[in-house]
Amino acid sequence: MFKQALIRACLLVPCVSFAVCAGETFYINPHSSAALWVKAHPDDPRAAKIRTAIADVPGAQWLTGTSQSTASLSDAVRRYSLAAQQQHKTPVFVAYNLPDRDCSGGASAGGAANGAEYRMWIDQMVNGLGDKPAVLILEPDALADIECLTPAKRAERLDLMRYAVDRSRQHAPATDVYLDAGNANWKPAATMAASLNAAGIKNARGFALNVSNFYPLQMSRDYGDALNARLSSEFGYTRAMVIDTSRNGNGAKGGQWCNPPGRKIGVQPGEIAKNVLALWVKVPGNSDGDFSPLADCHGGPAAGVFSPDLAIRLIEGR
């Protein structure tokens, strides 16, 4: 009875702590690359294992600028949110379309052509979110990777992230926005806290860690605590955290990030502690890339392409 009442309350009004509402009710993405692969290969001997271990686990829907046209983005987000609401579930979205995306690694390069195009794209996304509860992870790697931009481009990136936060707050008040903060082995906490503040996290729910990476859960929590300590001491507030646990079951391997062997899926989505959520942001089995000047990608395939072989390796930890 309590659980049913909690779900109804979450659907009617934004929660003081959205994590409490969302912890047990995340939406299973029926259009994930893993789910589509299983549907297309029902007789493949790997299909049952991939369905159970990955496709049937709640995960994020990535919005990239190429996965949906700007003109159809509002409708796509609205339909997805409505499908989640009809199941009394909370959808998780990832916005990944800033200009000069992945400017250092290169494997996922792309994004909007310019700031004006990005603002238009954000407006369409926010219109689709509307007043329905959702979680939004804003721009993986954007802050941790910002130093590969010119000073003018850095200032623009921060301005665009503030725009996304503010538009979400104004027009999608039931959406909890988390700004990506890289991972525990990328930037010092003081540096990242300053970047988060400059990007407008004061008006967001929190920050996201370890997206598409492999660092252990406790390591990410410790880094998140260090970020909050800096946010508190320097700016007078703290924020909630999301940790991507989709592939961190065996931890990281010497900082490798591009399809490293021996990794494993981690704990399933849910509330870990007050203001700490585990989410599957990256789809296990989606490649990190087939080439990068900074890393061995272990044969690819191209970034974002689902590989059943990669999926099985993550399920089995090899």
Known catalytic residues are: 102, 141, 288
Residue 62, CA distances (Å) to 90, 93, 163, 205 in order: 15, 6, 19, 19
DSSP assignment of 174-241 equals TEEEEEE---TTTS-HHHHHHHHHHTTGGGSSEEEE-TT----HHHHHHHHHHHHHHHHHHHS---EE
Pair 189, 230: CB distance under 8 Å: yes
Phi then psi for residue 233, to 5 deg, are -70, -35
Tokens matching residue 57: 């686990």
Rounded-to-integer distance, Cα 90 and Cα 47, Å:
26
On the CB side of 121, how many CA atoms lie within 13 Å of its CA? 23
Rounded-to-integer distance, Cα 311 and Cα 258, Å:
14
Element (H, E) at 101: none
Kindly tell me the sign of the dihedral angle through the C-alpha atoms of 66, 72, 76, 78: positive
